[in-house]
Each structure stands twice: as C-alpha cells, then as structure tokens.
Structure 1
Amino acid sequence: MEDNVKSAVREFAKSINSGGKVAADMTSLIDLTSQLPLSGFNQWERLIRSEFAVALRESAPPKWKVWSRPSELLTWLDLISWDGYRRERALRALVGAAPNTFFFSLAVRRLNDWVPQVREAAREKLPELAEATDPVYVVEALCVALASWNSWGRIEEIDKDVLLQIICKEKIAASLRNKLISSTTGPMSSLLSQLGRTPILDEYIEEIAALAVQPSVRAKAYRSLFEGRIAWIEGRTWKWTDIRYCEGRLVPVLAEKKVTVQTPLFELLKNSSVDRSPIVRRVSAEILIRELPSLSAVARGFAEQFASDKSPSVSERGQFALKRLEEAENSNASKK
C-alpha cells in the first residue's frame, strides 16, 4: 500500500507540472487514500507530504524553460505543504466537496496547524466544505478528530467551536447518532462523551442506552442517565506529585453538562439490570448501592438479582448491597 501511495502521489505531481488536467489524474490517489486506515493518519500524512514535495521538485521543468512552466495550481495535497503560505492559499482556494474522508481530515487537521493564519483559514472554510461534502466522509473525519483533539497542542476553543457547529447540523448529527448506536468497533464511548457537550444527544440518551451495539456505549449512556449528567475530558493539565524531585504527571481535566432524565430510577434499574453485558449490569449494581435508601422495598429484589449474577464483578456488588440492607434492617430492629 505504501508503494502504491507513493506511485500515485508521483503521478499526480507529474500531471501538475505537465500542465494537464488534474481532476482525472486524482482518481487513483482518491481510491488509494479511501483505503488507508485513519488510525495511522499521522504516518500517512508525513509520507504523502514528503513524497509530494520531492516529486514536484523532480518533475518541475528546468528554470530556463520559462514558457513551459505551468501557472500555480493549488490542490488538496497542498493542505499539507511544508510552506504555511501555500497551506493557507490552498484552504482558501478549495471549492466543492472533499473527495473522501482522508482529504476532509486533512482540512480538519489544519485547525491544529502551527501557523495561526492557516488555522484562521480553516475556521472560515471548514463549514463550507462540510456542507458540500458527503456526510459519511464528514462524520468519519469528525470521529477521528474528536478522539484525538485533546492531544492537539495548538487547537483553541474557537477552533473547537467550528467543529461543534458542524456536528450540530441535522444531517451530521443524525449520522453521528446512528454511528454511536450501530458501530461494532472504535472508541464510541469516548465519542459519546465528546458529543455530550453538544445538544444533539439530549433527546436520544435513552435510545442509545437501549440500542447501542457496544456494551461500553450502553454503560456510558446508562451512567449519564443515572447521574443526570454527561462528562467528558476537556484536556489535560500537569500535576506535581513530588516537586522536590520534579516529578509529576498529566491528569485529565473534566467538564460536564446536565442531562434531563424523564425515566424514573426504578425503570432505569429494571432495564439496565437485565442488560446482556456485565459491563452495563455492573453500572446498574453500583447505582443500586448508591440509591439503597431511596429504593426501600424494591431494593432487595435488585440486590438478590445482582448477587446471583454470573459475572463476579456484578455478584460482588449485589452481595455488598444485601449486606448493607441487612445492616440497615438490624439497626432498625434494635431501635424498636
């Protein structure tokens, strides 16, 4: 795949310097980048940037052939040029839809560019590109960005707001909700947390808790319903553990938003306690222990159900709940 990508990039660069039409020559490059795993995006971006720069130099006509030099042509690959001025001009020159997820991701990643003017251009251009691009490509790129933007050192709140505004577009929001429910792989629980900062999930948390394929997503959704809030990692900050020896570590900075819960606690416990995954049932058992005083008569039934669960982590919590109930009953009996 790496050799194929290099070959496609070189052919593309050659067509630019030959003065031919670029659109037809991008086909193989688009096909190949559509197959690239987004998990290795940094590696592919570095490879393509380096190969494209070398190929442009090698295929450029001699300086003395002034008449054969093509006029400047800005392409999607110029978004990752070594030249910040060129990256900015390329962003502002882009018109129409991104050809696939990879190229839209190139534009999104300019929000973390080391040149402020490039970030400004990305803020201005991304909403227009997102509107014109296939929502499937936009959603895939946004999922990758949301999973990693806490590690982006240069992105600012104003840049994040641009992505959040795109997320709130109805067709994008609907695709993201569907992805949360139907995806069998990927960091969907982390995506659920990040999307929680927007209003697009406010009316759908219960649906996600009931229907999501991934157990971790259902568990996260149920916890948000139980706690009446959804939390996400806003970033990371340095915390000294021993300043005398200059020792410390990065700790997450959490933020949260309230979730309006319409379903009664009993119904949430009833549904989550019979979930097919022990991850979800464990969350349910934890909430039972916390809410024992308010559940009164129905608490013992749930506690006995959890205590007999096949999962050790769930049964331990059920047994603990039974022990707490017995202690409370003995305490009440001694007071009479």
Structure 2
Amino acid sequence: MHDILAELATLPAHLVVRASREIANVAGLGWWQPEARPRQLIPSDRASLFLQQIRDRLLPKPPPVSFPADRELLAANPDFAWLFLFHPSGYLREAALWHIATPPTSPFFVAALAWRLNDWVGPVRRAAMKCFKRISANIAAAVVADAALHLLERRFVWGRWSDEVPALDPMFARDDVLAALATQLERRPTGGLSGCLRSALRYPGIDQHLPRLATAAIQPPIRAIAYQCLILRKASWPIGFDWVWLDKVYGLKRRIPKLDSRGIESDRPVADLIAEGIRDRSPFVRKIVADAMIVVRSQIADERALVSQLVNDPNPVVRSRGDFLARHPRSSQ
C-alpha cells in the first residue's frame, strides 16, 4: 500500500478528477469484490458448453477464498483511507475521511481532499470539511502552494459545493502558503497563472508579495496584474458569475464574471510605479500600466515625461494610450 500511495502522490493536482475514476477501476473498488467474481461460462479450450458444465459437476471445486471487506481493510490499515477517497461508495468515502488523521504530503492528495468537498453526497462533503479542520494547519506550505495553483480557480468551476468551499480559506490564507505561492507565481515560466493570482487576491497576505511579482515574475500577465493592483491601490477577485442581457426580445444574454474588491496600501508613489511599469519589456504589461495611469492621472503631479514615453512607445496599442493622454490633458477635463 505504501508503494501504491507513493506512486499516486507523484500525480499532478490538476489530474485529480480524471484520475479518480481510473484509480477506482484499477483498484477494483466499488460493487465488484473478488469473492463476487462471476464464473466463466465460455470454456477456454473450445469445448462445448455442455461438456464444460458436466466437467464442472464431476471435478471437485476448489475451496472458496475469503477476502476481507473494504471496511475491514480500512480498520486494519488507515493508509487505505487515501485510496478509498476514490471509492464509488459514499459510505466508504465518508469513512475514509474520518480515518484520515495525518496531513497529506503531496499536492495530488490535497486536491483529492478538496474534491471530496465537492462530493455529490452531502455527508461526504461534511466529513471533508471536518477533515480539513483537523489537518489543514499541519500541511506543508510548499504542498499547499502547489495544490493552490489548481484549486484556487476551481472555486466556481466545481458546482456542488457552496458552504463547504470556505473550509479551504484558512489553509490558503496562511502567510507561509502565500509566500510559497508567490514564489511559484514568480518563477514558473509556463501555465496560465493569472487566474490563480486573481483568486489569491482575496487574501490580504498576498499584498506584501505584489511589488516583487511586478518586477520579477517571469510571466507578463502576473507582472501586469501586480502593477495594476499597486497603481490603482485596489485588488479585485472573482466571486462568481452574473448575466447581462444583450437582447431580451430574442432571449440573448451573456455571462460575465462578478468581482469583489478591497483596498491596498503601498508606500511607493503612483508615478514611480507607472514609470517603472511603462519600461517593462512586455507590451502587454505596458498597456495595462497605461490604462491604470488613465484612471489615476489626477494623482500624478507632473505627467509630461510619462506621457512622452507612452507616445514614443514602439507598440501601437501602447502608443494609442499615450495619444489619448496627450489629446486630453487634465486641464481640459
């Protein structure tokens, strides 16, 4: 069992939904049990079914082999609880959650516990909530941070949980977890991480890492979001979705994200952040910084140097923001 769990622990967290069915099938979990295996009716030596039935009656049958039930396995070895998280029976999934007393050591099993918060059986979801309350404080920060790269965006994608999802917030809001997550966001060169950072903005502990992400993150979207938050002095994150009517006569509407926000404190002047942001190597970052400058230009004492740099930017999209600022000086607003 130890070797099996070690192999499962190497799976990435984003595969937890896909792997759950495969694990249950390969492990033979569910209604199928070894002692209930049906007899082979089609003979393998091409003999007729009639002759095979006669042979079965004449030859002595082997003694029946007894196998322990799943609950007996779970009671004898608590490690089976991690495997039974994927059990098709809700009774066994609930029992497995009650047997888990040690924190998971891999992002995959953190995601597996979170997936049980979204279980289709209510008692399993409630057992998962209590399981997180017992062990979440002791899960290693690096393990939680790796799982958070996938789980933070699942909040409004998995549809069954409602009151259960806040059970993850104390774990993600830990300072050590947010520090490890900021390091991941800074150093990872691939993968769509902007949604993860947006979701992490609901936790005020991420604010202290935004200046470093704005200047040092490898991915331009991460730098752009960090600059936007610091310049606007506001962090916004998704809290669900809303509908906007396009044409009520024809029943046409579009789903848009619904956001919440909070204020951010920063010691650096807005003008310094903008000057730093419009020198970024990515035109996408420079465009976001220019858009933020349009919003907060009233807080800038002398914007001429910044506008001149935007007007002479090599990217046409960024230049269009500079042209707007040049055509609409503050005195005419």
Coarse TM-score class (shorter-chain normalised): 0.7 to 0.9
CA shift, 1:255, in A, is 0.9
1:159-174 equivalences under 5 Å are: 159-174=164-179
Give me the whole-angstrom Cα distance separating, in 2, the residues matched to 1:151 and 1:209: 28
Deviation by residue 1:9-56 (Cα, 9 ceiling, x = unmatched):
xxxxxxxxxxxxx33xxx14532551x454444322222233334698
Is the partner of 1:154 in helix, strand or coil? coil
Instruction: Tell me how many residue pairs correspond in the alignment.
Output: 302
Give me the whole-angstrom Cα distance separating, in 2, the residues matched to 1:121 and 1:85: 11
**Which of 10, 19, 39 matches 1:44?**
19
Please state if 1:232 is matched with 2:232.
no
Quote the residue 1:279 is aligned against: 284
Is the partner of 2:300 in helix, strand or coil? helix
CA RMSD of aligned residues (A): 2.8
Quote the residue 1:187 is aligned against: 192
**Which of 87, 90, 93 matches 1:87?**
93
Equivalent position amino acid for 2:120 in 1: W
Give me the whole-angstrom Cα distance separating, in 2, the residues matched to 1:144 and 1:106: 12
Preserved contact between residue 30 and residue 99 of structure 1 (Cα < 8 Å): no
Equivalent position amino acid for 2:27 in 1: F
Quote the residue 1:31 is aligned against: 7
Is the partner of 1:178 in helix, strand or coil? helix
Please state if 1:307 is matched with 2:283.
no
Give me the whole-angstrom Cα distance separating, in 1, the residues matched to 2:304 and 2:147: 47
Preserved contact between residue 61 and residue 69 of structure 1 (Cα < 8 Å): no
Change (3 A) 1:324 1:249: closer
Change (3 A) 1:241 1:81: farther
The higher relative CO (CA closer than 8 Å, separation ≥ 6) is in: 2
1:1-336 equivalences under 5 Å are: 22-23=1-2, 27-28=3-4, 30-31=6-7, 34=10, 36-53=11-28, 57=32, 59-60=34-35, 65=64, 68-69=67-68, 71-73=72-74, 74-156=80-162, 158-295=163-300, 298-325=302-329
Preserved contact between residue 288 and residue 321 of structure 1 (Cα < 8 Å): no
Deviation by residue 1:58-97 (Cα, 9 ceiling, x = unmatched):
5347799586535242431211222111111111111323
Give me the whole-angstrom Cα distance separating, in 2, the residues matched to 1:150 and 1:229: 22
The unaligned stretches of length 5 or more in structure 2 are: 39-62, 75-79
Equivalent position amino acid for 1:146 in 2: L
TM-score, normalised with respect to structure 1: 0.79
Deviation by residue 1:274-313 (Cα, 9 ceiling, x = unmatched):
11221221122223334445535x3221111111111121
Change (3 A) 1:216 1:135: same
The unaligned stretches of length 5 or more in structure 1 are: 1-21
Preserved contact between residue 144 and residue 172 of structure 2 (Cα < 8 Å): no
CA shift, 1:241, in A, is 3.5
Preserved contact between residue 198 and residue 236 of structure 2 (Cα < 8 Å): yes
Higher helix share: 1
Deviation by residue 1:142-180 (Cα, 9 ceiling, x = unmatched):
221112221111222x42322110012233222112222
